[in-house]
């Protein structure tokens, strides 16, 4: 299974903000840190704001902040909300399934179990868990954490 770029970038934005949860960040700042497109990131940020994961403000001094404490943001939930298609194989899409063996195929159960396990494992982690190594992540993203208060 491969996550979409939108989900990947959504997780990256949340991780960036999770490293410095009480400091505002901007799209250009995050895009530069990850070396990714500002335009694509703007769509991701808009979506994260619409889903309520982040708060945004426009204009001079604007930017984004996490809407919740990192320990309250579940990674499995984020992935489920940002992924548009969990159809691992054609037969998962009941409207467009043309697989001739579908009625007798037992593989679909195994694939459904695998998908459920994938989401189940991700649901065991919060944003706080995946940014717990802040001192390793911050320098890689060129984030100065010396002034960040630890909770």
Q: Single out the residue of 27, 11, 8, 28 nearest to residue 19, CA to CA.
A: 11
DSSP state of 36: -
Q: Assess if residue 58 is contained within a domain.
A: yes
Q: How big is the chain, counted in residues?
A: 151
Q: Assess if residue 88 is contained within a domain.
A: yes
User: Tens digit of pLDDT for each residue in 49-108?
Assistant: 999 999 999 888 889 999 999 999 999 999 999 998 877 777 777 788 888 878 888 888
Residues 6+ away with beta carbon under 8 Å from 135 = 145
Q: Assess if residue 147 is contained within a domain.
A: no
Q: Assess if residue 39 is contained within a domain.
A: yes
- CB distance 63 to 56 below 8 Å: yes
Domain span at 122: 5-140
Q: Assess if residue 60 is contained within a domain.
A: yes
Q: Assess if residue 149 is contained within a domain.
A: no
Distance of alpha carbon 42 from its chain centroid, rounded? 14
Q: Single out the residue of 58, 47, 57, 45 nearest to residue 17, CA to CA.
A: 45
Domain at 26, CATH number: 1.10.10.10
pLDDT for 94: 79
**H or E segment at 57?**
strand 54-57
**Full-model pTM:** 0.87
150's tokens: 């630890």
Q: Looking at the 3D structure of the chain, how many domains does it have?
A: 1
């Amino acid at each position: 299974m491969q996550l979409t770029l939108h989900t990947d970038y959504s997780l990256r934005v949340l991780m960036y903000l999770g490293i410095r949860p009480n400091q505002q960040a901007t799209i250009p700042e995050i895009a530069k840190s990850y070396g990714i497109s500002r335009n694509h990131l703007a769509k991701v940020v808009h979506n994260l704001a619409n889903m309520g994961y982040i708060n945004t403000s426009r204009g001079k001094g604007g930017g984004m902040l996490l809407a919740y404490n990192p320990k309250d943001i579940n990674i499995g939930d984020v992935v489920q909300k940002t992924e548009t298609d969990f159809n691992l194989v054609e037969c998962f899409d009941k409207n467009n399934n043309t697989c001739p063996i579908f009625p007798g195929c037992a593989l679909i159960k195994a694939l459904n179990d695998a998908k459920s396990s994938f989401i189940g494992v991700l649901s065991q982690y919060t944003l706080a868990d995946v940014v717990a190594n802040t001192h390793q992540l911050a320098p890689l993203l060129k984030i100065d954490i010396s002034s960040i208060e630890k909770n």
